[in-house]
C-alpha cells in the first residue's frame, strides 16, 4: 500500500468492554497515514503464541516485527509450563508409555466438543509430538520423569503426568490412557523457565525485530478493507518513565499469583504512564497482522458482560490479558465465540486424601467425581452449585492429608492452602452435627455419604463413576467439611477466559460476523477460539498457543510464497 493511502481503524461501539486500566483503544478514525516502520508480518503479543508465530514466520522467510505492550512473556510466563502433547513423544517413550495420535484425538474429542472441528483435533494430535521436539529445539526443556499418581501439578522431581481426565473410568475404559502433560524443566512454576528460553531464542533469530513497551492502539486498513498494519503506542526506548513502566509491570507479574488484586491496582498506573509518555508509531505490515494478545480475564467489564457468574473468581492472567486484540478484531466486524466459557480451577489433589473424600454442594448433594481435573470440579461448582461446595472427610482422611503435607512432596502453593482449609474446616462428631453447622438437611448429607461408603465397600455402583483406587470411606468421626466455595477468601478460585475471535482453523484468519474473513488479520492463542475454548485441561492452552501460532505463520508464509511464484510465472 502506498504511503498516505490508508485509514486508521479501531473500536466502534465497544465502550461497554472497556475497563479502567486496560489498554486504551481509540474509536475509528479515517485519516491518511505515513508509515514509520515496515515489515512483512506484524505479530502483536510476545507470549507463547506470539513467539511461536514469530519464529515460524522467520523460518518461512518473512521479515517479522514482534511487539508487546510490556517486556514480553505474557500469561505464558506466569503459567505452570505444561504442554499437552502425545501420540508417542520421545519423553513418553523413554518413560515406557505407549500412545498413539488416534487415542489422543479420541480422548481430546471428549474434552474439546464443538470448540473446533474434528479435523483440527486430529491435526493437533498428529503434530503434537513434533511440537515438543520443536520447543526443545527453540529453548525449552522437558523430561521423562513421570509423576507416581494423579495430581494437579507434579512435584519438583516429575515432568510427565496425567494432566487431564484420562484415568477417569468413563474415559480410561473406552480409550487407552497415556500421560500427556509435559512440564517444562525449571524452578518454581515452569512457565517462566520455558518462556525465557524461547524468548532468548526469538531475540537471537535473524529476521525478527522486537519492540517492547509498545501497545497496539489501532489497526490500519487500506481502501479495499485489508488490514495493512497498525498504529502502536510506544513508550520511549529509554528514560525514567519507561523504567517505571517496566518495573511496575514486573511487580504486577511476580505478585499476581501471591497477592490478590495487586495487578488491578497497578494497571491504572501503567495506563497513566502510557497516556502521558507513549507516542504513536505506524507500522506497515505487507502480509498482515497477527493478534497474539491473550484473553480478557483482566477486563472486568467484558467478564461482567459475557460471564457475570464468574466475577467472584480470582482473575488469572497477566496485566495484558485485557481483551485488546479481541476488541480490535470486533471493531472490524469480527465474531466473538465462546465468550461465556470461563475455566474455574478448584484443585483439591494433592493432598491425595482430599480427592478420596466427597465433594458436596450447599445442600449436601454429591457434586461430581472428585478425581477429575480441577477445572471440571470448578465448572460444576460454579454452574450447578452457585459457587458453594465442601470437601467432606473423616479423621482418617484428615490424618492421611497431614502426613502427605508433612512429607514435603507438595509445592508450597499446594500445601499452604491445604493446611488453611483444614484449620478453618467445620468439625462435628457426627454427620448430622456437621450438616447442622453447614445449614444442610442432615438426611441429605447422610444419604450422600452412605452412597459413597457403599461404593467403597463394593456393595453398589459408585454414583459419580469414581475409580476404585480413588474412593475413600468417610466413615468414622469426627467429620470435617473443608470450604472450597468461590467466596472463601482463604482459598481463591482462579478463573481465566477460554473464548476469543472466531478464526479459520486452517489459517488463523479472523472470521467476519457477516461471513468471510477480514483480509490481513489473524488471531492465535487465547485471542482466538481454539482447542480449549469449551473446556480446559492442563497443557491444552499452552499447546494450542504454540500450535496455532506456528500454524498461522506457516499459512501466511506459504501464501506469500504462492503469491511470489504467481508473480514470477506471469500470465
Burial of residue 316 (number of CB atoms within 10 Å: 0-12, 13-18, 19+) = buried
Quick one: how many helices (H) and strands (E) in the chain? 18, 23
Whole-number Cα distances in Å, 361 to 329, 357, 439, 515: 40, 13, 11, 43
Q: How far apart are CA 385 and CA 382, in angstroms?
A: 6
Place of cell 478453618: 424
For domain 347-483, the CATH architecture is Alpha-Beta Complex (3.90)
> What is the pLDDT at residue 1?
37
> What is the pLDDT at residue 539?
96
> What is the pLDDT at residue 411?
87
Tell me the pairing of strands 426-428 and 479-483: antiparallel
Burial of residue 287 (number of CB atoms within 10 Å: 0-12, 13-18, 19+) = buried
Residues of the chain with pLDDT under 50: 1-5, 10-13, 27-32
Domain ranges of the chain: 29-78+190-343+494-568, 82-183, 347-483
The C-alpha cell that represents 116 in the structure block? 473446533
pLDDT one-digit tens code per residue, 36-81: 999 999 999 999 999 999 999 999 999 999 999 999 999 999 999 9
- pTM of the predicted protein model: 0.92
> What is the pLDDT at residue 408?
86
> What is the pLDDT at residue 559?
82
The C-alpha cell that represents 131 in the structure block? 511440537
> What is the pLDDT at residue 27?
35
> Would you say 268 and 252 are in contact if contact means Cβ atoms under 8 Å apart?
no
Whole-number Cα distances in Å, 110 to 29, 104, 107, 152, 346: 45, 10, 6, 20, 20
> What is the pLDDT at residue 150?
83
Burial of residue 516 (number of CB atoms within 10 Å: 0-12, 13-18, 19+) = exposed
Determine the CATH number of domain 29-78+190-343+494-568: 3.50.50.60
Give the rounded distance of the alpha carbon of 149 from its chain centre. 24
Q: Smallest Cα–Cα separation from 371: which of 357, 361, 385? A: 357
Place of cell 478420596: 356
> What is the pLDDT at residue 258?
57
Amino acid at each position: 500500500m502506498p504511503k498516505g493511502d490508508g485509514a486508521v481503524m479501531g473500536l466502534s461501539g465497544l465502550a461497554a468492554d472497556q475497563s479502567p486500566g486496560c489498554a486504551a483503544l481509540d474509536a475509528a478514525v479515517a485519516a491518511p497515514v505515513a508509515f514509520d516502520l515496515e515489515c512483512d508480518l506484524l505479530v502483536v503479543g510476545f507470549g507463547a503464541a506470539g513467539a511461536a508465530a514469530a519464529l515460524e514466520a522467520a523460518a518461512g522467510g518473512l521479515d517479522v516485527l514482534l511487539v508487546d505492550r510490556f517486556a514480553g512473556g505474557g500469561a505464558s510466563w506466569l503459567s505452570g509450563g505444561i504442554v499437552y502433547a502425545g501420540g508417542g513423544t520421545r519423553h513418553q517413550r523413554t518413560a515406557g508409555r505407549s500412545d498413539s495420535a488416534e487415542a489422543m484425538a479420541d480422548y481430546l474429542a471428549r474434552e474439546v466438543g464443538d470448540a473446533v472441528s474434528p479435523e483440527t483435533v486430529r491435526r493437533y494430535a498428529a503434530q503434537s509430538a513434533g511440537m515438543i521436539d520443536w520447543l526443545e529445539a527453540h529453548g525449552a526443556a522437558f523430561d521423562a520423569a513421570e509423576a507416581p499418581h494423579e495430581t494437579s501439578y507434579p512435584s519438583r522431581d516429575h515432568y510427565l503426568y496425567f494432566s487431564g481426565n484420562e484415568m477417569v473410568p468413563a474415559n480410561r475404559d473406552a480409550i487407552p490412557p497415556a500421560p500427556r502433560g509435559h512440564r517444562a524443566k525449571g524452578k518454581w512454576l515452569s512457565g517462566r523457565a520455558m518462556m525465557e528460553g524461547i524468548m532468548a531464542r526469538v531475540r537471537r533469530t535473524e529476521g525478527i525485530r522486537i519492540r517492547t513497551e509498545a501497545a497496539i492502539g489501532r489497526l490500519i486498513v487500506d481502501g479495499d478493507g485489508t488490514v495493512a498494519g497498525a498504529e502502536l503506542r510506544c513508550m520511549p526506548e529509554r528514560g525514567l518513565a519507561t523504567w517505571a513502566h517496566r518495573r511496575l509491570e514486573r511487580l504486577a507479574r511476580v505478585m499476581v499469583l501471591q497477592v490478590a488484586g495487586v495487578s488491578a491496582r497497578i494497571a491504572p498506573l501503567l495506563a497513566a504512564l502510557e497516556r502521558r509518555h507513549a507516542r504513536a508509531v505506524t507500522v506497515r505490515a505487507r502480509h498482515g497482522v497477527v493478534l497474539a494478545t491473550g484473553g480478557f480475564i483482566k477486563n472486568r467489564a467484558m467478564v461482567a458482560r459475557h460471564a457475570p457468574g464468574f466475577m467472584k473468581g480470582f482473575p488469572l492472567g497477566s496485566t495484558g490479558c485485557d481483551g485488546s486484540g479481541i476488541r480490535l478484531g470486533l471493531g472490524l466486524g469480527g465474531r466473538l465465540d465462546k465468550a461465556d466459557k470461563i475455566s474455574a480451577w478448584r484443585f483439591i489433589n494433592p493432598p491425595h486424601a482430599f480427592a478420596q473424600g466427597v465433594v458436596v454442594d450447599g445442600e449436601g448433594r454429591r457434586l461430581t467425581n472428585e478425581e477429575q481435573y480441577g477445572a471440571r470440579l470448578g465448572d460444576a461448582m460454579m454452574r450447578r452449585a452457585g459457587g458453594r461446595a465442601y470437601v467432606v472427610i473423616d479423621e482418617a482422611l484428615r490424618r492421611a492429608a497431614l502426613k502427605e503435607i508433612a512429607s514435603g512432596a507438595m509445592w508450597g502453593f499446594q500445601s499452604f492452602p491445604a493446611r488453611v482449609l483444614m484449620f478453618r474446616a467445620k468439625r462435628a462428631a457426627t454427620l448430622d452435627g456437621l450438616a447442622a453447622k453447614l445449614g444442610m438437611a442432615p438426611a441429605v448429607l447422610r444419604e450422600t455419604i452412605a452412597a459413597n461408603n457403599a461404593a467403597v465397600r463394593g456393595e453398589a455402583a459408585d454414583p459419580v463413576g469414581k475409580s476404585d483406587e480413588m474412593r475413600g470411606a468417610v466413615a468414622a468421626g469426627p467429620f470435617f467439611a473443608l470450604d472450597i466455595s468461590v467466596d472463601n477468601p482463604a482459598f481463591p478460585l482462579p478463573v481465566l477466559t477460554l473464548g476469543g475471535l472466531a478464526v479459520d482453523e486452517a489459517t488463523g484468519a479472523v472470521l467476519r460476523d457477516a461471513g468471510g474473513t477480514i483480509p490481513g488479520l489473524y488471531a492465535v492463542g487465547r485471542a482466538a477460539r481454539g482447542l480449549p475454548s469449551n473446556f480446559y485441561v492442563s497443557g491444552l492452552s499452552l499447546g494450542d498457543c504454540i500450535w496455532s501460532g506456528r500454524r498461522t505463520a506457516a499459512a501466511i508464509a506459504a501464501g506469500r510464497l504462492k503469491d511470489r511464484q504467481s508473480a514470477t510465472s506471469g500470465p
